[in-house]
Amino acid sequence: MTEIFEKTSINTMALPNRLVRSATWEGMCDPDGRPGSRLIEYYNTLAKGGIGLIISGYTFICPEGKQLPGQMGIHTDDFADTFNKMTDIVHNAGGKIAIQLVHAGGQANQKMSGHPPLAPSAVKVAQFPVIPTMLSQTDIKDIVKAFSQASLRAKSYGFDGIQIHCAHGYLINQFLSPLTNQRADEYGGSIENRSRFLFKVYEEIRSVVGESFPLFIKLNAADYVDGGLEIEDAVWVSKKLSQKGIDAIEVSSGTGASGALTPIRTKIISPDKEAYNLEHALAIKDEVSCPVMAVGGFRSSEIIEKAIKEKGIDFISLSRPLIREPDLPDRWKQGDNRPAACISCNKCFKPGLFKGGIYCVPKRAEANNH
């Protein structure tokens, strides 16, 4: 597995291998968004387990962009000491950590955010819990500003990079999707217009963090909903981002309304079920000059090695396997090539809603039985 564990980099960020912990909501923060001690210890455990790069759980940039309980927030300077402690602990464990920034848009939860949800258009679609309020031009400018302010905080707190969340039906993805973006102004219509908001967010963040600071994106290659974003437009957006200097693109797909084609598919129990976004990631890889990450159902080192060595993908992102086995990268590196023990049941997320943080339910049940 020499390709998996070869040293590499994203912009100025040196990485020990090609494995990435994909952003995962953990549900381990205080109600106001301050990271809790359990979350900091969890990142410490991930760093010690050998993952090349940790991408934080999705972090709201302003309160009205919040979706789930226990979600992390970087909308205020009040959490500076806690964030500094987080990045210090990861670095002391030999790890690297980037923060993922998000605005949930029409998928925001009013009970969590205290605000009616905002979206590109006031449309009724399956992925929105209620019909959202259409964003005004002023709202758009304010959100772009909130992204840049959050980015300045993240850089000052010692994060090694920033990922913009442009997938899974959240606000920037909502602008890209013809289904959720039915605007008649310069932000709606053609893909050039629908991507305008994303490019403004990217350019504003880049202007405040600088050219040498790693700035990358999580992008839906396809929404898998009727009328949503399709691969052709995702490739076009990726090419433009590459030309603008994006440092990496992580390719995902699906929304909460995509049925069996959700971003976190179940029953990944055989190699043929793995790597379900790889072909889309390769289509984007063919058209860009920046590194590309593929996420989605990777469970075995053989499939990962093949994606890197034979297909040419730059990084492989993992999420659920690391909830069960945070030391999975080290296990593979030490020669234990058994696939990840994760059975893709998605039960890990329920404790985040009700018990203060995600964990592998089957693993804990097995431990209790012994």
Catalytic center residues: 170
In angstroms, rounded to a whole number, what is the distance separating the alpha carbons of residues 251 and 242? 14
What are phi and psi for residue 149, nearest 5 degrees? -65, -40
User: Who contacts 22 (Cβ-Cβ below 8 Å, separation ≥6)?
Assistant: 55, 218, 250, 293, 295, 317, 318, 319
CB atoms within 10 A of CB 274: 21
Instruction: Annotate 252-268 with DSSP letters as a single string.
Output: E---TTSGGG-SS-S--
Q: What single DSSP character describes residue 101?
A: E
Among candidates 267, 272, 314, which has minimal Cα distance to 295?
A: 314
Whole-angstrom CA distances from 113 to 36, 66, 67, 207, 217 are 19, 5, 7, 28, 24
Instruction: Annotate 184-239 with DSSP letters as a single string.
Output: SSTTSSSHHHHTHHHHHHHHHHHHHH-TTS-EEEEEES---STTS--HHHHHHHHH
Tokens encoding 28: 């381990």
In angstroms, rounded to a whole number, what is the distance separating the alpha carbons of residues 107 and 73? 16
Tokens encoding 305: 């090695």
Signed CA dihedral, 88, 90, 96, 99: sign only: negative
In angstroms, rounded to a whole number, what is the distance separating the alpha carbons of residues 264 and 255? 9
Among candidates 33, 39, 110, 35, which has minimal Cα distance to 76?
A: 33
